[in-house]
Amino acid sequence: MTETDALYAVSPLDGRYGGRTALLSPYASEAALMRARVRVEVEYLIALADLEATPLELDLEERTHLRSLFESFAEEDAQLIKKLETEGHADFAATNHDVKAVEYFVRHRLPEESDASAWIHFGLTSEDVNNLAHRLLVRDAVDEVLLPELYDVRETLADMARDYRDLPMLARTHGQPATPTTFGKEMAVYASRLARATGRIRLATDDLRGKLGGASGTYAAHIAAYPDVDWQAFARDFVEGLGLEFEALTTQVNPCDDLAALFDAFRGANEVLLDLDLDVWLYVSDRYLGQEAVEGETGSSTMPHKVNPIDFENSEGNLSKANSDLAFLAEYVTTSRLQRDLSDSTVKRNIGTALAHCQIGYGKTAAGLSKVVPNERVMRDDLEATPEIIGEAVQTILRREGQADAYERVKAVTRGKDVTLADFRELFDELDVDEDVREELHALTPAGYTGVASELVDDMAE
């Protein structure tokens, strides 16, 4: 798509964001689906030739030629398949059927002397081809594009966690000042969550399942032609040979519970990043994080000083859209009327849309993280201005010393008041405690009250 074409694209995925989503094109475009279908048809034809029961024979040269149909698949091949579907070509009338057009494409590209034409798509229904093609594309999109981007974000978070493990920062529960933490520990929380989320995506991707059972999932046509062949074993070997798990029990449609599980796994990862986007946005708002200005970039159309957290906002919007699409897909693709209806066909064409919004979101989160820098002075000033946060430590130590009214005494000094460390020290001097306990209390500071936050960074999930 040219720059001018992009200006007229209906979807921003192919328009404004076309440059960002181009990496998904080999897995999410119409041409990609055509190529994957050709691959399935060709590999199935070769598998039939390997069966002793069939008279079909394909020598090495023929197999190499057949595999070149998808290995060297080009734009003119995609255009020819589309022409076979909509207009017809050579001796083939228009199919008005996208999978049949692929079958005719393979037949058209056979050498003239080949006798393999009758065996192309032998005993198959279109869903046998489609369910495998879609999963091959989704698997590769996850492996080649989406998971690597998520791994990069996770590694950035882990690096930030390690770099700032000792940087104290005021925490907020219910939006109010609370027991301090460290900035590194907070980033470690997200790194750990994202590691587990990507692990779930990995497991769901490895469990993508394919079927090859014919029009009703019973191998009826195959059995009618060759009743002595173990077609179930053949199908299992074929599907697993494509790198997918085998689904033995299906209707005409692969039930798609595996795809739904994958979509849900992506939603989980996206929820982690949405939570991160919101927190980082608030850290920027509180000036806990500064942002590196990009030369020539406009932050606001009217306020020249502004550097807006636009990457995190963009990520938030795209990941929210992705999750909406993924929820719809997970719900829709797992249902079909009786043995089959075709409504899922058009819905599955939108899988790439959901994944593209994921990809944009991941890229924007990564870009935003690359620009933020913790503002240590602001964080420490905020801690020093909120001495009441050591109240938890004070009342806990006093409880340890057997003072049952410790909570109430600290509450009387701090709740709803502008308290200072001097107020606390006055309280400490009035307490009936041993001198070593009084010294322990006097040593408390907001910046030092972070528990084992620094050490917790070492517990990040990988």
Q: What whole-number distance in Å separates Cα of residue 151 and Cα of residue 396?
A: 41
Q: Which ranges in 217-350 belong to alpha helices (H)?
A: 220-225, 231-241, 257-285, 310-332, 343-348
In one letter, which amino acid is 238? F
DSSP-derived letter for residue 94 is P
Compute the distance between CA of residue 432 and CA of residue 403 in angstroms, rounded to an integer: 9
Q: Catalytic site residue 442?
A: no
| Spatial distance between the Cα atoms of 107 and 399, rounded to a whole number of angstroms | 84
Enumerate long-range contacts of 198-204, CB under 8 Å, 24 or more apart.
198/147, 198/150, 198/151, 198/154, 198/269, 200/265, 200/268, 200/269, 201/142, 201/146, 201/147, 201/150, 201/262, 201/265, 201/266, 201/269, 202/147, 203/265, 204/258, 204/261, 204/262, 204/264, 204/265
Pairing relationship of beta strands 209-210 and 245-246 according to DSSP bridges:
parallel
Which member of 72, 174, 301, 305 is catalytic? 174
300 classed as catalytic: yes
In total, the chain counts a number of residues equal to 462
Q: Tell me whether residue 459 is exposed, middle or buried, using C-beta atoms within 10 angstroms of its C-beta: 0 to 12, 13 to 18, 19 or more.
A: exposed
Which one from 11, 68, 300, 370 is the annotated catalytic residue?
300
Q: Are 36 and 98 in contact (CB under 8 A)?
A: no
Q: Using alpha carbons, list the distances in angstroms from residue 373 to 160, 282, 289.
A: 10, 14, 5
| Helical (H) or strand (E) element with 78 | helix 75-86
- Give the alpha-carbon dihedral of 69, 74, 78, 79, to 10 degrees: -120
CA angle 332, 338, 343 (to 5 degrees): 40
| Spatial distance between the Cα atoms of 419 and 384, rounded to a whole number of angstroms | 11
What residues act catalytically?
174, 300
